[in-house]
DNA sequence: TCCTGATCATAA
DNA sequence: TTATGATCAGGA
């Protein structure tokens, strides 16, 4: 797994017939549903943050929460929890009960607030001051092959410069809430 | 111990 | 290079 991190996700997409590829679209375009695996422990505890999408560092003119990539991706999600304790061999890991989810008003509020705060900082040219600890449910973290990768962004003077690509992640606190809610009603 | 920042594989 | 899929691992 150290060298095949996204393998489980790719397997699920293949088995369930999702449109493969690296397009910035939902896994099931006709249904508008995004497929995401959710690594949990055997106790039902979320083990990792969940990658949502890359963060646009340029071309932000006119975008808001309503038309953001994050909102579109999270409109409908098929969560597939996988028991992924690190002492369990990959071949013996089990898929827990999957569930379809859409944000409630309260949940979307949380997401929108964090998204707005992070996006504001990007627009203001403070990308490099953003750390993973920002936000309650969303965080902005490096999303690259390594720390040497670069993408274009704009600083506070509106001038372009190269910086580390970032991506939006859902914090474990948020995905844990979703999982707990699902467990209660099932 | 856990979270943040870093890293790995692959396609186009 | 940018996008997809994520997990790893060291420092706080």
Return chain A residues 69..88 having CB < 7 Å to nucleic acid strand C.
69, 82, 84, 86
Q: What share of chain A is helix, strand, coil (3-state, %, to 5)?
A: 30, 25, 45
Question: Per-residue pLDDT for A104 more than 70?
Answer: yes
Strand pairing partners for A138? A170
What pTM did the predictor assign?
A: 0.94
pLDDT attached to residue A81:
95
- Distance, CA of A9 to C1' of B10, in Å: 13
Does residue A172 approach strand B to less than 7 Å at its CB? yes
Does residue A147 approach strand B to less than 7 Å at its CB? yes
Would you say A57 and A150 are in contact if contact means Cβ atoms under 8 Å apart?
A: no
Over residues A24-63, the pLDDT tens digits come to 778 998 888 999 999 999 999 999 999 999 999 998 888 8
Measuring from the CA of residue A45 to each C1' atom, give the nucleotide at the shortest distance.
B2
Task: Round to whole Å and give the CA distance between A135 and A118.
Answer: 8
For every residue of A135-162, DSSP letters joined together read: SSSEEEEE-SSSTT--EEEE-TTS-EEE
pLDDT attached to residue A108:
96
- Distance, CA of A89 to C1' of B5, in Å: 26
- When pLDDT is averaged across residues A95-118 and rounded to a whole number, the result is 95
Other Cβ atoms less than 10 A from the Cβ of A111: the count is 24
Over residues A134-184, the pLDDT tens digits come to 889 999 999 999 999 999 999 989 899 999 999 999 999 999 999 999 876
Measuring from the CA of residue A146 to each C1' atom, give the nucleotide at the shortest distance.
B7
pLDDT attached to residue A20:
63
């Amino acid at each position: 797994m150290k060298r095949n991190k996204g393998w489980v996700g790719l397997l699920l997409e293949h088995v369930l017939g999702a449109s493969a590829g690296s397009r910035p679209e939902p896994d099931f375009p006709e249904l508008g549903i995004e497929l995401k695996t959710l690594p949990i422990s055997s106790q039902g505890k979320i083990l990792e943050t969940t990658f949502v999408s890359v963060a646009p560092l340029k071309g932000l003119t006119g975008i808001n929460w309503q038309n953001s990539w994050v909102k579109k991706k999270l409109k409908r999600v098929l969560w597939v929890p996988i028991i992924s304790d690190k002492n369990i061999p990959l071949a013996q890991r089990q898929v827990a009960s999957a569930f379809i989810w859409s944000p409630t008003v309260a949940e979307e509020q949380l997401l929108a607030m964090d998204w707005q705060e992070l996006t504001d900082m990007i627009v203001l040219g403070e990308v490099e001051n953003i750390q993973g600890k920002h936000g309650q449910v969303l965080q902005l973290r490096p999303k690259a092959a390594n720390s040497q990768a670069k993408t274009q962004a704009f600083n506070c003077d509106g001038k372009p410069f190269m910086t580390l690509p970032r991506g939006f992640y859902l914090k474990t606190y948020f995905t844990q809430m979703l999982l707990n809610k699902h467990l209660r009603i099932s």
